[in-house]
Amino acid sequence: MTLSKQIEQRRVKLDDPFWNKITELVRREVIPYQYEALHDRIEGAEKSYCIENFIKAAKADGSKKYPVDKWCYTDENTEEGAFHGWVFQDSDAYKWLEAVAYSLINHPDRELEAKADEIIDLICSAQLENGYLDTLYIINDRDKIFTNLRDFHELYCFGHLAEAGVAYYQSTGKRRLLDAALRFADLICETFGEKEGQKRGYGGHEIAELALVKLYEATGDKKYLETARFFINERGKKPYYYDLEHNVKTEGEGYFYNQAHKPPREQSEAVGHAVRGVYLYSGMADVAKYCGDGELYAACRKIWDNIEKRKMYITGGIGSTVHGEAFSFDWDLPNDLAYCETCASIGLIFFARRMEETCADSRFAAVAERALYNTVLSGMSEDGKRFFYVNPLEVDPVACRVDERKKHIKAVRQKWFSCACCPPNLARIISSLGAYCYSENEDTLFVHQYIGGSADADIATLSVISDYVENGKVKIKITPKRKMRLALRIPEWSGYTGENVKDGYEYFDIDGEREITLDFKPAARLVKSSEHVRANIGKAAVQRGVFIYCAEGTDNGEGLQLLSIDKDTAFKTDGEFLIADGYRAVPSEELYSEYTETKQTPTKIKLLPYYRWGNRGENEMSVYLNIK
């Protein structure tokens, strides 16, 4: 396994014609909007209760108790003084702070920083003496702390706190949030482990694993890495911890949902809740890397293969069933029932980043690119004020309203969600894109994502002028600090053939300042999926460069299932749209009739990048179209 390490975001500056407007949108609109949402000040939006819970926790002294028996606490099912919202509501504030931290690196903003500091003060004032910090239990019942790891997200909230603490410290130099996270981490390291008197549990929603590794990276203290490793090693062991915790006896089957049906190092398939899965796999890849654990790494590779080759949509979406927001069985990728949570694709990018650091194979960055430019970007409206949680590949607004099976699918982005994991996750990944572009080792600098800007790595400085997204063109100027190699990812969609290529990277020996120009020529093309995928037989999708395209009712009329693309079409461009030659079937009004060939009339089919769909009001959408 080739090891390289990520070049931290503060050593990367982005300046990219495609991304500038999106990162600015996140900075100017999304982050301030989410601040208001956390304070429940968005009219007509579902309530968050996030800040309200921290205020209550800061005032609570533990004398009054409320039940801790639900995933979601509403005005109807709980008392006024009790915790409100979902059990993981604290994490929204942490994700927001993490996004702010990244944003401040390149855009100092005293007003925003003051707001963040105020929230940090509030968070710290809610923390208990012993370092414990989760408002659900602080407000409702301190005697129940760490008694339901399977369901109630304390270790998940800790994970987000730790990630925010590290990011805020690295960005601003302020330690307060990091110290709060470290105090909680110390309590966790004391509470969980193999020693006499310690609990042998692990979080039902993973993330603590990767977060503890971040604390290890930030402090060098090995106990955090050891506890991350403990959580991974303990998971799925028999007798099942969750059986003991809930006094039940299962065969572990239900624990697929939490990837706790068997030890992660014995797993080879992506199963269960998709976000939990990719967060766990990211933590596994981290621990494998730092502990030189080849067996754990081999499990990561198998799981990665399973996702990439069997369980991922062409849009980089994962999790094809609403039941458990979960991975389904191999090849099961229905377009209209898809779940494809925005967070899951974000987590897939986290996993990809770790895998590309352990193995110089372009497939990891290629999947990250697919997820980023399609499902992740689709998660947010063009004005940054509305969001998709679920990102299906085919939508009929009528079905979303009347069909129970499709109730999870929204035909237009929403202002906010009571379960609001996705919007702040989007804000944090888009504000930290710089961290996904490069990695380096002693002699090689890797370029994984072509986003314009500059980087100051240990072995070279680099500037990238990028017109990659629109036209596939990139100009790289490199100034080495010593003799080194530059490894440039070749996108799998390009016809580019480099000279010294290995596993999808072209290698250049660099001995002095040099300029390299790349031209990846993003041509529109039809892409089919394996015939094993039942939903896509006789259909194809359209891809041009990083983008998967879709047809919308607004441009093509109702009944997108009637359209067929001509397999020999020459695509034309019209601004951001692609125009293809195709046909429209003339539907019979009889439900059943003697077989005759369906009449088709020639038509032009207008397609736009998938991530932009649903920005012009409610309408039908389809990524896959019949092919003729």
Candidate list 7, 149, 189, 275; residue touching ligand FUB; CB under 6 A: 275
Binding of residue 105 to ligand FUB (CB under 6 A): no
Residue closer to Zn ion, measured from CB, 391 or 536: 391
- What is the size of the binding site for Zn ion (CB under 5 A)? 4
Can you tell me whether residue 186 is helix, strand or coil?
helix
- What is the size of the binding site for ligand FUB (CB under 6 A)? 8
Minimum Å distance from CB 212 to ligand FUB? Answer: 18
Residue ranges in 408-437 that form contacts with Zn ion under rule CB under 5 A = 421-422
Among Zn ion, ligand FUB, none, what binds residue 296 when CB lies within 5 to 8 Å by partner kind?
none
Answer yes or no: 558 catalytic. no
Minimum Å distance from CB 378 to Zn ion? Answer: 13
- Cβ atoms 87, 153 nearer than 8 A: yes
Answer yes or no: 325 catalytic. yes
Binding of residue 349 to ligand FUB (CB under 6 A): no
Residue closer to ligand FUB, measured from CB, 160 or 448: 160
Q: In this chain, which residue has its C-beta nearest to ligand FUB?
A: 275
- Strand ranges, E, within 199-271: none
Is the backbone of residue 193 left (phi > 0), alpha (psi -120 to 50) or beta?
A: left
Residue ranges in 420-459 that form contacts with ligand FUB under rule CB under 6 A = 421
Chain centroid to Cα 134, Å, comes to 23
Angle (nearest 5°) at CA 543 between 539 and 547: 130
Instruction: Count CB neighbours of 111 within 10 A.
Output: 8
Strands across the sheet with 5-6, in order? 5-6, 438-440, 444-447, 484-489, 505-510, 501-502
Chain centroid to Cα 127, Å, comes to 28
- Give the contact letters, 34-73, x = binds to ligand FUB (CB under 6 A), - = no: ----------------------------------------
How far, in Å, CA of 213 to CA of 536, rounded?
A: 40
β-strands 563-565, 625-627 pairing: parallel
- Give the contact letters, 28-67, x = binds to Zn ion (CB under 5 A), - = no: ----------------------------------------
Minimum Å distance from CB 325 to ligand FUB? Answer: 5
Binding of residue 205 to ligand FUB (CB under 6 A): yes
- β-bridge partners, 439: 6, 446
Residue ranges in 296-335 that form contacts with ligand FUB under rule CB under 6 A = 325
Minimum Å distance from CB 421 to ligand FUB? Answer: 4
Q: For the residues of 5-60, what is the DSSP string, one character each?
A: EEPPGGGEEE--TTHHHHHHHIIIIIHHHHHHHHTT-STTSPP--HHHHHHHHHH-
Among ligand FUB, Zn ion, none, what binds residue 205 when CB lies within 5 to 8 Å by partner kind?
ligand FUB
**One-letter amino acid for residue 284 of the chain:** M
Q: Supply the DSSP symbol for 387.
A: B
Candidate list 419, 501, 585, 627; residue touching ligand FUB; CB under 6 A: 419
| Contacting residues toward Zn ion, per CB under 5 A | 341, 343, 421-422
Q: State the residues that interact with ligand FUB by CB under 6 A.
A: 88, 205, 275, 325, 341, 343, 419, 421
Q: Which residues are catalytic?
A: 325, 421
